[in-house]
Structure 1
Amino acid sequence: MAGPGHTSADGISPPVTPGENEPPRAASWLRRLPLRAWASAAVGLALVVLLVSRWSTIRRGAEELAVADRGWLAVAALATFLTWVCAAAVQQGAVVQRLPAGRLLAAQFAASAANHVLPAGLGAGAVNWRFLACCGLTPVSTATALGLKAAASATARAVLIALFAAASPGILRLPRLPAGAPMLLLVLAGGALVPLVRTVRTRIGRAVAEIRSVHRIPARAAALWGGSFAFALLHALVVYAVTRSLGLPLPAAQVALLYLAASGAAVLLPTPGGFGSLDAALALALVTAGLPGSAAASVVLGYRLLTVWLPLAPGLLVLAVLVRRKVL
């Protein structure tokens, strides 16, 4: 007797049971899922894992802020929201092409959440890369815009640290380096950049041309540099507002300097969203400024709750929606 799928001697194929030779429906359905659906599911899973793993920290931060001054907490919340507005302004200032304002702001909100999943700013970089690519920018233009945004942010932080350190002498103590250390670092950096420049000379030329084009437009240059300085100052304002809400008497300039120095030091250790590195650096800076260890921990927890944990779930949900709507 002929088996399923074979023709019998009289030339008539025997009936085949439906689904007998078909792959399992579940496996077939999973294979048909688009990549964006998988990305949305991954975002949801990341949210659950982060919330579960950090639930004790979230609860402690909420308990600390429950007895804090509501007016200063409102100032901190407003400053947190304005950081996303500044991030959108900086991203717009880094490109000549006009970007859709609403989707740009939503992308920055989503990027801030994604940045707490991957280390060293990779989450925010990936979100912004996809957003700019979907807006029609070429890979070279996209890379130039992201590099210019990062360079402007780093420059703004360095300038602000120098200004606040000059205004509050004696607070920030830099480690002593051996006499030849700066020259050695410059030589090593130059030796690493020479082959890189030779390899990507053409792309660098295009990038320089695009950077010049951006700075020829006053509105773009103002958004790029003004937004970069405002972004750093607003984060410092969040820390200061949290200290005031907890009744801790620290001068605003001193808190800003301590935060900027701590955030700059945290960049050297690429952890997701600065978890651990920024927390430790900021707590150490506050203790060095004279706060008790428990008070410094309360400030760090409050800052993290406002800038990370409260916006995390909405940010990842916005990220999933932007992925499904092909904005990213």
Structure 2
Amino acid sequence: MSAPEGLPATVGRRRYVQPGITLIAFAAAGGMLAAHRTALDTGADRLAAADGEWLVLACVAAAATWVCAAVAQQGAVRERLPRGRLVAAQFAAGAANHLLPAGAGAAVVNLRFLTRCGLSTRRAATALAVKAAVGGAVRCALGVALLVASPDTVHLSARAPQLLVLLPVAAGAAVLTVAISGRLRRMTGRVFADVRDVHRHRARACALWGGSVAFALLHAGVVVAVVHAIGVGLPVGRVVMAYLVASGAAALLPTPGGLGSLDAALALALTAAGAPGPAAVSTVLGYRLLTGWLPMAPGLLVLALLARRSAL
């Protein structure tokens, strides 16, 4: 059927594009869940026998991460964004992030949301880069602060050097990539300019940094709660440090939502921190269930709803 008279042909095609994207997203999510059915069953069985109060706390912390992501995103832009849709977009972005590699799903959703709110594509992309840069800086700062405040949080084992060596390698690779690519140099310059602009306004700086700090701590809090729920006697500091190191290492590998890379890095970090191997695997499964697999279906429904209302 052709587009109605007086309207561009692209308008008629757009009616079918968004539902098509939604169906593809649902199909991809279904395939991913089916591929990890065994892991889902195992994780669900272990969580069913875990401490319910700690699991409730983990669920609350996981839900709060979307609010913190929204606060940080608001701090990265000058314009006032609609609060309800902003939080909904972060929830939908979390689901989309498990379908595309290296955080591309969340980036696409947030980029589309910001442009729908009136930002140019360039400004929206820079705002996302500012948020990502601050998030990385926050994780590094939290790790250093935790190490200074409590040096025994690092429980060196035979596997610890495998994790620690990733930090200078990652930093060197990032600097080399930026130095080689002129486009990345220009993008980095715009990001630094926007960061300076953010710090000229105290409210924006507090939102950006406060939201980023709370986001990282709440994700670490989910891991801590799951560790306590399954009865693993690890100090909180070691668990938080394990998450910070693992999330930084997982950023180097372009897998959807960190799936696979974050799982392996977190299990390795928890084992290096002193957790038994089976307990580390159970913790990772519980964390993945609460932050990724269980919210995926409702997140995709929110994504479809936002697309239908032209918020994306």
TM-score interval, normalised by the smaller of the two chains: 0.7 to 0.9
**Per the alignment, do residues 297 and 134 of structure 1 end up closer, same or farther by CA in structure 2, a change over 3 Å counting?**
same
Identity of aligned residues (%): 53
Q: Is 1:262 paired with 2:249?
A: no
Match of 1:154 among 133, 136, 143: 136
**Per the alignment, do residues 190 and 95 of structure 1 end up closer, same or farther by CA in structure 2, a change over 3 Å counting?**
closer
In structure 2, what is the Cα distance between the partners aligned to 1:301 and 1:187?
Answer: 34
Task: With the length of structure 1 as denominator, give the TM-score of the two structures.
Answer: 0.82
**Per the alignment, do residues 279 and 197 of structure 1 end up closer, same or farther by CA in structure 2, a change over 3 Å counting?**
closer
Who is 2:97 aligned against? 115
Q: Is 1:168 paired with 2:151?
A: yes
One-letter identity of the residue aligned with 1:225: W
In structure 2, what is the Cα distance between the partners aligned to 1:55 and 1:182?
Answer: 33
In structure 2, what is the Cα distance between the partners aligned to 1:261 and 1:299?
Answer: 16
- Report deviation, 1:209: 4.8
- Report deviation, 1:181: 8.5
Task: With the length of structure 2 as denominator, give the TM-score of the two structures.
Answer: 0.86
SS in 2 for 1:272: coil
In structure 2, what is the Cα distance between the partners aligned to 1:297 and 1:318?
Answer: 30
Structure label with greater radius of gyration: 1
Q: Is 1:234 paired with 2:218?
A: yes
In structure 1, what is the Cα distance between the partners aligned to 2:281 and 2:27?
Answer: 29
Q: Which runs of 5+ in 2 are unaligned?
A: 1-11
- Report deviation, 1:187: 7.9
Who is 1:23 aligned against? none
In structure 1, what is the Cα distance between the partners aligned to 2:171 and 2:39?
Answer: 43
- Report deviation, 1:211: 3.5
One-letter identity of the residue aligned with 2:48: A
One-letter identity of the residue aligned with 2:71: A
SS in 2 for 1:34: helix
Q: Which runs of 5+ in 1 are unaligned?
A: 1-29
- Report deviation, 1:185: 6.2
Match of 1:192 among 180, 189, 192: 180
In structure 2, what is the Cα distance between the partners aligned to 1:32 and 1:233?
Answer: 40
103-112 or 213-222: bigger deviation = 213-222
In structure 2, what is the Cα distance between the partners aligned to 1:85 and 1:305?
Answer: 19
Match of 1:83 among 60, 65, 84: 65
One-letter identity of the residue aligned with 2:69: A
SS in 2 for 1:227: helix
In structure 2, what is the Cα distance between the partners aligned to 1:187 and 1:309?
Answer: 34
Match of 1:102 among 57, 62, 84: 84
* Aligned residues: CA RMSD: 2.6
210-219 or 98-107: bigger deviation = 210-219
Q: 1:168, 1:254 within 8 Å by CA — same for their partners in 2? A: no
One-letter identity of the residue aligned with 1:107: A
Who is 1:55 aligned against? 37
In structure 1, what is the Cα distance between the partners aligned to 2:172 and 2:258?
Answer: 28
**Per the alignment, do residues 32 and 160 of structure 1 end up closer, same or farther by CA in structure 2, a change over 3 Å counting?**
closer
